[in-house]
Amino acid sequence: MTRVAIVTGGSRGIGRQSVERLVEDGFAVVVGYGGNAKEAHDVVETLTAGGGQAIAVQADVGDEVAVKVLFDTAESAFGGIDVVVHAAGVMHLAPLAELALDAMDRMHRTNIRGTFVVDQQAARRVRTGGAIINFSSSVLGLGMPGYAAYAASKGAVEAITLILARELRGRDITVNAVAPGPTATALFLDGKDEETVARLAGQAPLERLGRPEDIAEVVSFLAGPARWVNGQVLRANGGIV
């Protein structure tokens, strides 16, 4: 039986790389996307041309009706759901005293409400032996200025992750979060000058930015062989303390 995964935020960056890795691992994948229809359909076209199974479905992760349709479509197309990777997220950076509250609200809707809505459907639908994988961030432990609202939203993701793992006792479903460090994606690079990027890249002992495929490798691990890893936050950041 082919295993089935839903990946939100699957049209670009870490989400897209996770889609590609899971298809390589033999999954049929539903690419959830918000507004990047062309990119989502491009990745599906590329994967299906290579013999993979993938479809694209638009869904605002903060909209419980749209997310229900996303899960319904996955079940209709492929017969069930084994893994949910919730990679959709937004980031607005500014000192706490200066951040516009509407920017904070947008992060709250996508990063907190979105995680809750997606995980709620996942908790109801993922089959025995499955996995739910959320996304936090290593900035939560670094206390970097300008990240207060974003880090707060990811703190909520970690709380949801750890509690849901315990609530699914007896279901043989793992629930974990991946917390990337600085990773070379549009979400991270947008608005940063070369000096800032170089400084952040130098934080890790490996002296580079993470790559989306580095994070997708962790997703693959949690989606497949990592059956004894549960209720954890894996900080995939190259050794940043």
Residue at 55 is within a domain: yes
Question: 93-105: per-residue pLDDT in tens?
Answer: 999 999 999 999 9
pTM for the model: 0.94
Q: Does 182 or 46 have the greater pLDDT score?
A: 46
For residue 126, give both structure tokens: 């993922």
Task: Examine the pLDDT at 196 and tell me if it is beyond 90.
Answer: no
Q: Does 212 or 193 have the greater pLDDT score?
A: 212
* Averaged confidence pLDDT in the chain: 94
Q: How confident is the model at residue 198 (pLDDT cuts 50, 70, 90)?
A: confident
Rounded distance, CA 240 to CA 218, Å?
16
Residue at 240 is within a domain: no
pLDDT (0 to 100) of residue 190: 72
pLDDT (0 to 100) of residue 135: 98
Between CA 57 and CA 64, with CA 63 as vertex, the angle to 5 degrees is: 90
Residue at 136 is within a domain: yes
Q: What is the mean pLDDT of residues 129-147?
A: 94
Q: Which structural domain range is residue 8 located in?
A: 4-234
What is the number of domains present in the chain? Answer: 1
Residue at 206 is within a domain: yes
Residue at 35 is within a domain: yes
86 forms bridges with which residues in the sheet?
8, 134
Q: Is 150 among the catalytic positions? A: yes
pLDDT (0 to 100) of residue 187: 67
- Annotated catalytic residue within 27, 71, 147, 150: 150
Residue at 239 is within a domain: no
Among 48-57, 93-102, 137-146, name the one with the lowest average pLDDT. 137-146
Residue at 241 is within a domain: no
Task: Examine the pLDDT at 146 and tell me if it is beyond 90.
Answer: yes
Rounded distance, CA 7 to CA 19, Å?
7
Q: Is 207 helix (H, G, I), strand (E, B) or coil?
A: coil
Q: Does 208 or 34 have the greater pLDDT score?
A: 34
Between CA 56 and CA 129, with CA 120 as vertex, the angle to 5 degrees is: 80
Could you give the C-alpha distances from 75 to 79, 175, 220, 229, in angstroms and in order? 5, 20, 21, 26
Residue at 201 is within a domain: yes
Q: What is the CATH number of the domain that holds 225?
A: 3.40.50.720
Q: What are 140-148's contacts with CB under 8 Å, separation 24+? A: 140/179, 141/179, 141/235, 142/240, 145/95, 146/93, 146/94, 146/95, 147/93, 148/95, 148/96, 148/99
